[in-house]
Amino acid sequence: MTRYRPLHVQALFLGAAIPANAADYLYSMLHSFAGEGAALLRALGVEMTGRTAEATLADFQRRGYLLAYVLDCGDQQEADRREALRRRIPVTITRIRRSFKPKRIVLMGAELGEFVPEFTAANFDAALILQNGRPFHWNEISEGVLAKELAAQFQPL
């Protein structure tokens, strides 16, 4: 992730935990994208076909996008993972404020749903983008939907 971190983060996509399957991790640098990584790229309209993984990730970076996770491991049991998330949310909020400083924050994955109040109360200098008040679900985001959501943030009222 560090290699493709943009200088100015326009949109931070925040998931609960790095996927257990390396192929699903956006920054795995495998020859093709799968799972969460592919879903995010499709939802943002980032072209993957006929490009190397490096070219695709460079495009993602050029747009000012960054994908990060609250937890660095994704193979915990549900109860343990939930408690780990609860402990790491305050640290993540601090990291977002001090390090990432994004213009928009998009919560990804149902697991972060119970933590929406913490993110809302954090009063970031960034727009918190949700789908009907909840995080976007990885397996339910359709092609281009996040691109439209991000573009809508810049529409004059």
pLDDT digits (tens, 9 = 90+) for 28-78: 877 789 999 999 999 999 999 899 999 999 999 999 999 999 998 756 666
User: H or E stretch including 104?
Assistant: strand 104-107
Average pLDDT, rounded, for the chain = 89
* Greater model confidence, 78 or 12: 12
Give the whole-angstrom CA distance, residue 11 versus residue 21.
24
| Cβ-based burial of 106 (10 A; exposed 0-12, middle 13-18, buried ≥19) | buried
* Greater model confidence, 86 or 140: 86
The gap from C-alpha 66 to its chain's centroid, in whole angstroms, comes to 7
SS3 of residue 2 by DSSP: helix
Give the whole-angstrom CA distance, residue 67 versus residue 29.
14
Task: Judge whether 45 and 143 are in contact, CB under 8 Å.
Answer: yes
Say what the pLDDT of residue 75 is.
Answer: 60
Taking the CA atoms of 46, 103, 100 and 67 in sequence, report the sign of the dihedral they define: negative
Residue type, 45: G
Say what the pLDDT of residue 156 is.
Answer: 47
Nearest Cα residue to 55 out of 22, 31, 24: 31
Average pLDDT, integer, range 84-92:
95
pLDDT one-digit tens code per residue, 15-26? 999 998 888 999
